[in-house]
Amino acid sequence: MSNAIHHIAVPANEPVMSYAPGSPERKALKEALHEAKSKEIELPAFINGKRILEGEKVSAHPPHEHKHTLGNFYRGTKEHVHQAIDAALGAKESWAATPWHERAAVFLRAADLLAGPFRAKMNAATMLAQSKNAFQAEIDAVAELCDFFRFNAYFLQEIYREQPLHSPRGIWNKLEYRPLEGFVLAITPFNFTSIAANLPAAPALCGNTVVWKPAETQIYSAVVIMELFEAAGLPPGVINLIYTDGPVVGDIVFKHRDFAGLHFTGSTGVFQQLWKEIGNNITTYRSYPRIVGETGGKDFIVAYKDADPVQVAVACLRGAFEFQGQKCSAASRAYISASIWPAVKERLLADMKTLKMGSVEDFGNFINAVIDERSFDKIAKYIDGEKANPKAEIIAGGGYDKSEGYFIEPTVIVSTDPKSTTMCEEIFGPVLTLYVYDDADWEKTLELVDNTSPYALTGAVFATDRNVIDQATKALANAAGNFYVNDKPTGAVVGQQPFGGARGSGTNDKAGSALNLTRWISPRLIKENFNPPVDYRYPFLG
């Protein structure tokens, strides 16, 4: 039995590979893409370490090539939910009793496997199933996920180090950090493979066992994640991956006595409904469930009159159109000072003319497809609405075509109405709406930015004058959980920019930091008295 005090060094962020022409990583990724497209595979659920191929058969297709079939998954039943819960509860005692450094070792090993032999496979899965270009897949499915695994292990160690500040002579005060009592449900989105993996992995690292329900459009890469966990030595039953419809899962999970927590990323409406269901069943549970959620955003860029127009234009393009605007942090509304607008417009339109759109297999394409037909139709409806709006002008893009894939041109709208539909509502697609304000209306514009949206996820200010930057930072204190100065509002890095927002954007529990992990542990204080009293009488009684 080891009695060593194990130490995890401060991690470094996983380097992002370039995939430049002629590079070995580009060659390996091309081969992985070819391999994945050359065959249809079965995509099993994973319950208690067993691969399950039961239920309604559903095919998976690349969003950019929807006539091609990558494989088939099987939509689960109520029985699969019960089996997954039983598996999680069955694995609970053993996993919770596993020394923390052994749990950490699983995820540290997963990071190294992902950075090595799984790298091309994970990237290829994310590119094909979620229509991400090579760079967007690399920063998500490999670099960020490696960082989640490594930094979370380090953060957990630092949490465990926190002990009571004082133990007087004769007393020993100790804190131990238990997992939650029960199982955790992880509900994950399509847009980030790293989020899909981290939402079940973070509670599991803390000693919890998990039922994981992914978005159907992310199942292809979710299977690779489970293969990675298995290769890293994760015991059966710790994380159980199921494909049952969300309402069916919720109806069973949220009525279960041992439901202990929800780790969620998705839409605000769904999150609020789940919260209501949990509240309605609160007397059912053994303990108060932890509810952690990151939801929508209507993220902004606001540029002052002394901002660099080129920097603003590049931030608008990257912030709004990388991964087709399907990031919860994507810039979808911008407020540009009238004095710099002509220069911003000139650079933005010039750059947009160079954007190529098409399949992820062509590495020259900056823009790929949106995730599915439902999303395509929703975004197209917003664009058509602005085409008919006399207060709006589409100055770039506006086209769309779903004959081969769900392609929507990056679209820039200039609106004279700062409360127009596309300035206020979350679109989750490649649509940026700009409002040009008079220089004299700077302070009013800050109020407008703060009050336009119910969300508060990310935002950015561009300015040179330090007093102006300070003014904006204070005025927008509650408008964004991640606030950027002279940078686009996307691309948070684990260990550098803990991610999350408040208001309608979630519980702001900051993924990529120790703050998130504290939600998956339940501390116990142990006070030990080495010399207990033998007389009840206190001195004041004398």
65, 144, 294, 361: the catalytic one is 294
Residues 49 and 18: beta-carbon distance below 8 Å: no
Beta strand residue intervals within 416-531, DSSP E: 431-437, 455-456, 458-462, 482-485, 502-503, 521-529
Residue 24 phi/psi, 5° resolution? -65, -35
Alpha-carbon torsion (492, 455, 314, 318), positive or negative: positive
328, 361, 386, 409: the catalytic one is 328
Alpha-helical (H) ranges within 163-264 are 193-205, 219-231, 246-253
Q: Does the annotation count 528 as an active-site position? A: no
Go through 149-179 and write b for each residue having 16 or more CB atoms within 10 A of its CB, e for each that does not.
bbbbbbbbbebeeeeeeeeeeeeeeeeebeb
* Residue 361 token pair: 């297999």
- CA gyration radius for the chain? 25
- Distance in angstroms (rounded) separating the CA atoms of residues 46 and 436: 52
DSSP secondary-structure letter at 141?
Answer: I
Q: Does the annotation count 144 as an active-site position? A: no
- DSSP code per residue over 355-369: --BS-TTSTT-SB--
Tell me which H or E stretch contains 211.
strand 209-213
Greatest alpha-carbon span in the chain: 93
Residues 298 and 479: beta-carbon distance below 8 Å: no
- DSSP code per residue over 337-390: ETTTHHHHHHHHHHHHTT--BS-TTSTT-SB---S-HHHHHHHHHHHHHHHT-T
Tell me which H or E stretch contains 396.
strand 392-396
- Distance in angstroms (rounded) separating the CA atoms of residues 173 and 293: 33
* Residue 504 token pair: 């309608």
Q: How many residues make up the chain in this entry?
A: 542
- Distance in angstroms (rounded) separating the CA atoms of residues 508 and 168: 37
- Residue 154 to residues 120, 147, 269: CA-CA distances in angstroms? 26, 10, 34
The residues that are catalytic are 294, 328
